[in-house]
Structure 1
Amino acid sequence: MGSPPHAKNQNNRLLNFVSAQSTNNDYFDDDYLSLDTGSSHTVIDGDDNIRPPFSWKKLWQFTGPGFLMSISFLDPGNLEGDLQAGAIAGYSLLWLLLWAMVMGLLIQLLSARIGVVTGKHMAEICRDEYPRWASFLLWCMAELALISADIQEVIGSAIAINILSNGVVPLWAGVIITASDCFLFLFLENYGVRKLEAVFAVLIATMALSFAWMFADTKPDAKQLLIGLLVPKLRRKTIQQAVGVVGCVITPHNVFLYSALVQSRKVDPTKKGRVQEALYYYTIESSIAVFVTFMINLCVTTVFAKGFYNTKEANSLGLLNAGQYLQERYGGGLFPILYIWGIGLLAAGQSSTLTGTYAGQFIMGGFLDLRMKKWLRSLITRSCAIVPTIIVAVVYNRSDASLDNLNEWLNVLQGMQIPFALIPLLVLVADEQLMGVFRIGPHYAGIMWIVAALVTAINGYVLVDFFSSEVKGLVFGSLVCSVIVAYAAFILYLISYGNAWFSRFGFKRLV
């Protein structure tokens, strides 16, 4: 890609901003925090090319999207990965949890950058930048990742409802109850984005209180906790749990979601100072949000490390039986730990299914350029996940082994989709024509490509390990090999497409 004149770049960004604002009104109501229009919310004076000094009031106004984004680090799939890592690996993978969170934060900051600078979210940009066939394939991959994540989230909520109802409500009924959050989401949207963010803040606070209570009740070893955080250690028998820790943190649909969430604050991308200000406050807010979610994940991992490491129950722990095992290990106390676990799990499931509904709207609306009423779009995107989830809940009802096997398949499916969110993000955020002066530099880009390579390699290991044990028969094996070749070819295409580093060696955009 060549570097166009500055004026042309500014005009392109202005057109993107105007187009995005007309689109955003489909997703958000009029309760924006208008940071650049001189409204009654906030008036910003001074040079548009200079970022104003730090303000606590301004930080509060930008607070919200980062915490919604951080929900993806707290979904039931993450909690299951945490408890299994603690039970099987003890405290030894805490350092990896910490660095996985850092990698997740860096990726989400790039997602915020591309959303603020262009005034459009990732799905829309991919639709505009890539050929139709490539854009369609990216949409398919994003939908697969979203559906597989949503199945885990909805089943997690259903398990929590089953626990809190003392087994009266079966899994399939819990799935139907959880599915109704689609209508709750639509109801909350009518009251403005800030009210919706407040609801998520309550859910995160509920998780924090529940799992901190469990942490206080079980009293994990503080010395072992610090050693686990500071001393990298990886044993052969804990590789699968290590891969799970990283895979749970990097979620494909969250990359698309956060680039859209940051647009709930109106920032004119043609004004350098306003963009710098927005990116500055989103960096602070996202860092705080990720720190909070890290502490919650830390509590879950250490609780199960203290209670089940080197025990016969360690290898059989999952979401379905974790609460009962906790109850048997620690008893009732002032408030039965089984119900504390159930409350935290319910908050995790409900919050993540709501963000899944949100992400589904942006992904489908952005890639397919849909123009329809909010309730209809939400119903369609929700049904894509709920229908297969109900089938799964009926088929696998209260079967620990079957649910564990299903979770393995779903984790593999999500891991396979990560490159199709991460690679376009890295290519686009380094594109001078798209990002102007806010494109990332070569050093930052190099670090992020290393992160992307690590994440892709880790998930590649999972794929090879999983399929080598599951694939049997010549016909099925040949089919899997063909799919893997096509999968790798599409990844290489995405890497080379418009990548400035590749253009130095003669690679051109493949239109």
Structure 2
Amino acid sequence: MSPPPATLAEGAPLTGTAPHGSPRPSLADSYRSVPVPSGKGRFFAKLGAFAGPGYLVAVGYMDPGNWATDLAGGSAFGYTLLAVVLFSSLMAMVLQSLSARLGIVTGHDLAQACRANYSRPVTIGLWALCEIAIIACDLAEVLGTAIALQLLFGLPLVWGVVLTGFDVFLILALQQLGFRKLEAFIVALLVVIAGCFAYELFLARPDPLAIAGGLVPSPEIVTNPAMLYIAIGILGATVMPHNLYLHSSIVQTRRFAQDEEGKAEAVRHATIDSSVALTLALFINAAILILAAATFHGRGQNVAEIGEAYRLLSPTLGAGAASVLFAVALLASGQNSTVTGTLAGQIVMEGFLDLRLPVWLRRLVTRMLAIVPAALVVGAAGDRGATELLVLSQVVLSLQLPFAVIPLVAFTGDARRMGRLAAPGWLKVVAWGIAALLVVLNGKLLFDFFLG
């Protein structure tokens, strides 16, 4: 049942209808398709019903772009950038909780909310920036999957890039099975990735005291331009802008009570779901960096390429399975990110433009925009070019972050739009602090890039 219409004038409540016209819920085929138990109590039953969207979001926080930035950071600077991974994950938990709050309370995803409240030129500009971010993310998925296929099966990198265009059929098949099955597929691949890295860390035996020291921020992160470049790449790879649009939509797949009490309860359960899932993402991101620091940096090896890491892991750790599991986890990561990237692209295009293309066509267009530059770079520069392009794609994501974060923080903190379920004062202060930090760090990166 669609929520009742509401006015869309500036300052009016966002709750109710899709923007600028008839009620068109986000991801209409899956909207309110997962039932949530009703009645008082039953905390764990309700929490179980809400479990899922957080893991789809967490996928974006451990995609192949993270591998490039974490490997580069760990092998070049040891454990120093662990603090960036930790604080990026904490920032992600805050922002994703706000994203879930927006979708649950207003019935809008972030793209729809922007379209409802900003002028047409601003909306088009935000859409264009978001599409660039999705293409950058897709580029990381393309390259990560192609590298994994090369490592596992010896497939030439260019052919692997081309083959990634066919994963559109995987998306179509999963969506036909229903949203709950899609979530189960994602969680299964996450378990594979986590298991692979748990084994790798067992073999690497990193120094616990060095890990603890790396969790303390160092001033060198900001003063060293090379370290800052990787740090912002980690930030862009961890706090993914398109995930803010994705989460605000997929929380609406749950069929919860639409009164204030039901929405407040839904916000709590969705926040727990995303925070637990992002803790898993934190473990995996930290594991990649720790593995690079313990295995390569500790031996004076500056390994910035995924392929080189694959070749060195087994002889360095003394286990033949180490390299294979590394590549298997990379392939699982690429395929997981493909699924969520498709959903985010659909949500963004429909929300900002009210343009509804067939999923296969939308996916194919986005993937072609990633495949062409990836194929050109790989053909010209080989493995090193692929890794450098992976890191650059994550910096592009980070540069787009403020344009997603600032509207999200503004909407969720506005009681005129959110009513009594607006973000409390302490959360608004934290969220605006995160937004300001992102703007400052990105400004520093641009200054160093153009003038440094």
Identify whether the pair has TM-score above 0.5, normalized to the shorter chain. yes
- Alpha-carbon separation, structure 2, partners of 1:136 and 1:268: 34
Q: CA deviation at 1:54?
A: 5.5
Q: CA deviation at 1:461?
A: 1.5
**Greater alpha carbon shift after TM alignment, 243-252 vs 359-368:** 243-252
Which residue pairs with 2:256 in the alignment?
267
Which residue pairs with 1:202 in the alignment?
188
Query: Is the counterpart of residue 361 in structure 1 residue 361 in structure 2?
Result: no
- Alpha-carbon separation, structure 2, partners of 1:234 and 1:20: 52
1:376-387 residue pairs with structure 2 within 5 A? 376-387=361-372
Q: CA deviation at 1:224?
A: 2.0
- Alpha-carbon separation, structure 1, partners of 2:203 and 2:75: 17
Query: Quick check: 1:29–1:189 contact (8 Å CA) kept in 2?
Result: no
Larger radius of gyration: 1
Which residue pairs with 1:320 in the alignment?
307
Which residue pairs with 2:386 in the alignment?
403
Query: Is the counterpart of residue 132 in structure 1 residue 120 in structure 2?
Result: yes
Which residue pairs with 1:100 in the alignment?
88
Which residue pairs with 1:13 in the alignment?
15
Compared CA separation, residues 27 and 384, structure 1 to 2 (3 A): farther
User: Structure 1: any 5+ residue segments left out of the alignment?
Assistant: 36-41, 46-51, 470-511
Query: Is the counterpart of residue 145 in structure 1 residue 147 in structure 2?
Result: no
Which residue pairs with 2:78 in the alignment?
90
User: Structure 1, residues 462-491: CA drift from partner, whole Å, max 9, x if none?
Assistant: 22112235xxxxxxxxxxxxxxxxxxxxxx
- Alpha-carbon separation, structure 1, partners of 2:159 and 2:29: 30
1:445-464 residue pairs with structure 2 within 5 A? 445-464=428-447
- Alpha-carbon separation, structure 2, partners of 1:247 and 1:412: 6
| TM-score normalized by the length of structure 2 | 0.90
Which residue pairs with 2:329 in the alignment?
344
Query: Is the counterpart of residue 425 in structure 1 residue 408 in structure 2?
Result: yes
User: Structure 1, residues 201-226: CA drift from partner, whole Å, max 9, x if none?
Assistant: 01101100111110111111123223
**Greater alpha carbon shift after TM alignment, 188-197 vs 377-386:** 377-386
Which residue pairs with 1:490 in the alignment?
none
Which residue pairs with 2:448 in the alignment?
465
Q: CA deviation at 1:311?
A: 4.3
Q: How many residues align?
A: 441
The alignment partner of 1:210 has SS state of helix
User: Structure 1, residues 247-306: CA drift from partner, whole Å, max 9, x if none?
Assistant: 32121111111111111112354x011101111111111111011111112221111111
Query: Quick check: 1:81–1:245 contact (8 Å CA) kept in 2?
Result: yes
Q: CA deviation at 1:227?
A: 3.1
User: Structure 2: any 5+ residue segments left out of the alignment?
Assistant: 1-5
Question: Which residue, 411, 414, 417 being the options, matches 1:434?
Answer: 417
Query: Is the counterpart of residue 191 in structure 1 residue 177 in structure 2?
Result: yes
Query: Quick check: 2:80–2:217 contact (8 Å CA) kept in 1?
Result: yes
Q: CA deviation at 1:395?
A: 3.6
- Alpha-carbon separation, structure 2, partners of 1:385 and 1:260: 24
Which residue pairs with 1:244 in the alignment?
233
Query: Is the counterpart of residue 394 in structure 1 residue 393 in structure 2?
Result: no
Which residue pairs with 1:289 in the alignment?
277
Query: Is the counterpart of residue 258 in structure 1 residue 247 in structure 2?
Result: yes
Question: Which residue, 254, 265, 287 being the options, matches 1:277?
Answer: 265
Which residue pairs with 1:111 in the alignment?
99
Q: CA deviation at 1:184?
A: 0.7
Compared CA separation, residues 185 and 376, structure 1 to 2 (3 A): same
1:49-64 residue pairs with structure 2 within 5 A? 52-53=40-41, 55-64=43-52
Which residue pairs with 2:165 in the alignment?
179
Q: CA deviation at 1:16?
A: 5.0
**Greater alpha carbon shift after TM alignment, 385-394 vs 304-313:** 385-394
Query: Quick check: 2:145–2:160 contact (8 Å CA) kept in 1?
Result: yes
Compared CA separation, residues 312 and 276, structure 1 to 2 (3 A): same
Q: CA deviation at 1:125?
A: 1.3
Q: CA deviation at 1:154?
A: 1.1
Query: Is the counterpart of residue 329 in structure 1 residue 316 in structure 2?
Result: yes
Q: CA RMSD in A?
A: 2.6
The one-letter code sitting in structure 1 at the alignment partner of 2:321 is P
| TM-score normalized by the length of structure 1 | 0.80
- Alpha-carbon separation, structure 1, partners of 2:312 and 2:444: 31
